Structure 1
């Protein structure tokens, strides 16, 4: 059958866009060499199936693989699955796997690994897949060693977009079946099917990956090894790139003003491509279980008290666009027909007065997301704005692991996070709002505790709609409801810039950019 592909537009306003079609485009790839990158902040684990923070996807995307990848216009393409078929009724998805794939420990990869990953490991450990599996999937089977069949309870038009690497990293059954997933010693020495194998993790210094000599793509990868350097100081990361210690900077590795400066260096390229699948949207996450955030008027007041234009222009150096609600403006089914919250401090104070709470009696713990000084400045700015409303605010700084744990256990008052849209609202957006996804143990679910039965119904209607116009209607009404409720405090659509040495070729070639397996990346001599 013909399956319609959902498209989302790429981020607008590319900063210094320079594609890899330059001087070396006609050269044949060269084998060998070392690629130096940065893992910022240092990841708490490399086990991608248990934690999908940005640095873990970055490193883990070289170790683990999924069934599919996606072109920049979000068309599915082969990864561990070489082909797939969808039944006419949209209820059966059959994947044929690649031949001669081995795990990094030499054990053969098979359909049983995929079934275990989907039906056991990720169903328990992964918030997005858990929701998809429990809501839509009725059966997962391996009728042959190279074939996996998913049977759905009801149509789910976003299903083919559920196999991005951080959404569905395939894990080895022989390592994890029957073991405690979260305490398994293999989490410290990850084993995947990807182009690079784990070699060493010197805490506070680097993660070292080496070429997988038994990789299933003949002659690849081209590179011998990858280093992900741990450099806590933002200024030092800029210096490391300038001096050639590292070859690649991804979005967030350096400050916005540093991006502008480094982009002007000789033999340097920049691009904003490679984020089409994610379209990240930054928000404040308020714990709706406790005062004062259990009061909708307080949440509305906070939205009016925060100047999103100021945040984009002065804290993130113009690399973004103010957000209006749960969907990024580049995402399909986005609607501007929803309540808006213009910056108006006086209106914010009036809403606080109407709420009946006494701000001076409230002490709010504000927990920054530990991704660099720009995020620290964002926290400081929001602290000042909350204090203008009369609240007492303390900043509670934590490392990446502490942030994930506090959010997972709902031990926070207000923090920051960002949504990866994953090409469809049913995949990247719904998880933050569905009542069924109020679950402990992950920082990427409905951690704030928002629950609205009508919003739940509309998310489901949008996901199962056969006609695009029906989906648009459902998602449009949903946006009005959750925006009016201020389920989250939406701030801005984040634009990330990749900066790299021009000698690094084929670096960004899909919709997941630097998280894609770098089996075709090579270094020109």
Structure 2
């Protein structure tokens, strides 16, 4: 039963890698059969049902996870972006993105940055408690940022010292100015209770999140479930509305789809293509996609360009690979048109998209010519390492490369093993999932910086790219930083062909119209606001 059609698995891919979980509500009033005539729409996921009069308390939301969790309570040592879904009920950050891609204060009251003095100052909201009853204050913020610094996370790179000015004010003193650092800290540094970690240890904290969030951690049974219950002392009065949140690990997509179609679930974000088409035809659910939000994902392939023993160390070979693959055809036939082709890091909807990038359009004869010029007229053997949900995409790439003489062995492993692999070295190519959030300098550095946590040990680091990364980070204002990022696109792709960007998927979710304020696909791809979710009775 494991085999699925390419259409089914790759439509799942476009959804799963953006959301990496499904949402199911059961054991609450949202999942009854009184909603059979609701029509499918493109209304936002948080739009109200016409009969809704306002938030009502109660209910349990169950999320079906597509990938196992490994760290839900000590985020400083977990660089996987998808974990932001798992720990969001318990852990919160200083800021959140709004619908325009602007970072706005959340746990922070306000902030100020001074490029000349090389400082960032956070003013912290007062009166907030961690779930263990200890104070959330400037000392706690300092401690949390220090954990990320100790873990050598690139999101906090460049902090020279952290100074507590008073109980609600923290000042960061930087070694050099970094225009993206404020957004990076406000978004990525999730606040956990220093007292809880110091009392129980970091190993304990990994599986026991204690934060300021709307839901308290209850239990984590590996590969079965993670459960949270309402935080009765949450700092936003009157919230959360739900009684509980539960993540269930269910990996069979047909089972998940059947549960939703039978009325046993209220929201589904991972499904086969057949389920998607059937749900659209039935017209009993609300649909929302991520076509117009910030923070979608990009998917493609990363080359082992820094491996001296790999044919892909040669620029012409990397260029040949991209010329050999008909990305448009793959999007149409395998992704069912639910993606936008892109020849660079961002897609055409983003402010960082550079229309002057030429890229490598489909041209198999050009690919053969480049291979011959690089000394590989008879082709060569290589690998593509993937995860199960990418197998059909990679198989399509494999078939195109075979036509120009490149013999590809497909190696499949689970997500956790792939993450570990890309932190070191790999042979040939590996699937490459990137987030398209607004903070471009930090995100690109996380992937291509010389000391980045992932990929850096196995790729080239051209001096022209290093300089532009520095220029984008050191820029005194947003426009200067944007110009450096635009120039960076040409260096990454036209000059050095460092990776194969391929596409940006368009993902969809379906939900019972009674589910309100889910918050997915509203701002940033990895964001949602569990404190605002409610179900109409």
Calculate the TM-score normalised by the size of structure 1: 0.86
More displaced 10-residue stretch of structure 1: 310-319 or 59-68: 310-319
Tell which deviates more after alignment, 497-506 or 142-151: 142-151
Give 1:183-194 correspondences, 5 Å limit: 184-194=203-213
Corresponding residue for 2:12?
none
Structure 1 pair 260–54 and aligned structure 2 pair: CA distance change class (3 A) = farther
User: What's the counterpart of residue 8 of structure 1?
Assistant: none
Q: Does residue 533 of structure 2 align to residue 521 of structure 1? A: yes
2 CA distance for matches of 1:17 and 1:122? 39
What corresponds to 1:169 in structure 2?
Answer: 190
Matches of 1:129 and 1:467 in 2, distance apart?
19
Equivalent residues in 2 for 1:47-446 (5 A)? 47=73, 48-53=75-80, 55-87=82-114, 89=116, 91-119=118-146, 121-125=147-151, 127-130=153-156, 133-134=157-158, 137-163=159-185, 165=187, 167-176=188-197, 184-250=203-269, 253-273=270-290, 276-290=293-307, 291-357=310-376, 362=381, 364-370=382-388, 372=389, 375-437=390-452, 442-443=453-454, 446=456
Q: How far apart, CA to CA, are the structure 2 residues paired with 1:504 and 1:402?
A: 35
Distance 1:458 1:74 in 2: 23
Q: Are the counterparts in 2 of residues 279 and 330 from structure 1 also a CA contact under 8 Å? A: no
Structure 2: runs of 5 or more not aligned: 1-17, 19-39
> Deviation of residue 425 (structure 1)?
1.7
1-side partners of 2:394 and 2:523: how far apart? 30
Structure 1 residue 475 and structure 2 residue 485: aligned?
A: yes
How far 1:41 moved relative to its partner? 1.8
Q: Distance in 2 between matches of 1:337 and 1:178?
A: 55
Contact 2:260 2:268 in 1 (8 A): yes
Q: How has the CA–CA distance of structure 1 residues 171 and 357 changed in structure 2, closer, same or farther, with 3 Å as cutoff?
A: farther
| Aligned mates of 2:392, 2:212 — CA distance in 1 | 40
Q: Secondary structure at the match of 1:515?
A: coil
- 1:185-215 CA distance string (max 9 Å, x none): 2212222221122222233332222112221
Separation in 1, partners of 2:462, 2:115: 34
Structure 1 unpaired stretches of 5+: 1-10
Q: Identify the range of structure 1 (264-273 vs 327-336) with the bigger mean alpha-carbon deviation.
A: 264-273
- Equivalent-residue separation in structure 2 for 1:405 and 1:220 (angstroms): 38
Contact kept in structure 1, 2:384 and 2:408, CA below 8 Å: yes
Under a length normalisation based on structure 2, what TM-score does the superposition of the two structures give? 0.84
Shift of 1:77: 2.6
Deviation at 1:462, TM superposition (A): 2.6
Deviation of residue 65 (structure 1)? Answer: 0.9
2 CA distance for matches of 1:60 and 1:17?
28
Shift of 1:342: 0.9
CA contact (8 A) 2:90 2:216 kept: yes
- Counterpart in the other structure of 1:455: 465
CA contact (8 A) 2:148 2:189 kept: yes
Structure 1: distance between partners of 2:291 and 2:359: 30
Shift of 1:477: 2.6
Q: 1:179/1:426 Cα in 2 relative to 1: closer, same or farther (>3 Å)?
A: farther
Specify whether residues 427 and 231 from structure 1 end up closer, same or farther in structure 2 by C-alpha distance, changes over 3 A only. same
In the alignment, which residue of structure 2 is the partner of 1:38? 64
Cα deviations by residue, 1:277-296 (Å, 9 ceiling, x for unpaired): 41321120121233121111
State the match for 1:5 in structure 2: none
Is 2:537 the partner of 1:511? no
* CA shift in 2, pair 1:383/1:490, >3 Å: same
Quote the offset at 1:217 in angstroms: 1.3
Change (3 A) 1:204 1:340: same
Distance in 2 of aligned mates of 1:25 and 1:50: 45
Q: Which stretch of structure 1 is more off in the superposition, 486-495 or 102-111?
A: 102-111
- What is the rounded CA distance, in whole Å, between the counterparts of 1:186 and 1:472 in structure 2? 38
The 3 A distance-change label for structure 1 pair 383 and 43 is farther
Change (3 A) 1:16 1:358: farther
SS of 1:36's partner is strand
Shift of 1:512: 2.7
1:355, CA displacement in angstroms?
1.0
**What is the CA deviation profile of residues 475-516 of structure 1, one whole-angstrom value per residue up to 9, with x for unaligned ones?**
333222211211111110122222222111011274136632
Structure 1 residue ranges, 4+ long, deviating more than 6 angstroms after superposition? none
Distance in 1 (alpha carbons) for counterparts of 2:278 and 2:336: 12
Query: CA–CA distance in 1 between the matches of 2:516 and 2:457?
Result: 40
Task: Report the CA distance shift for 1:164/1:381 in structure 2 as closer, same or farther (over 3 A).
Answer: farther
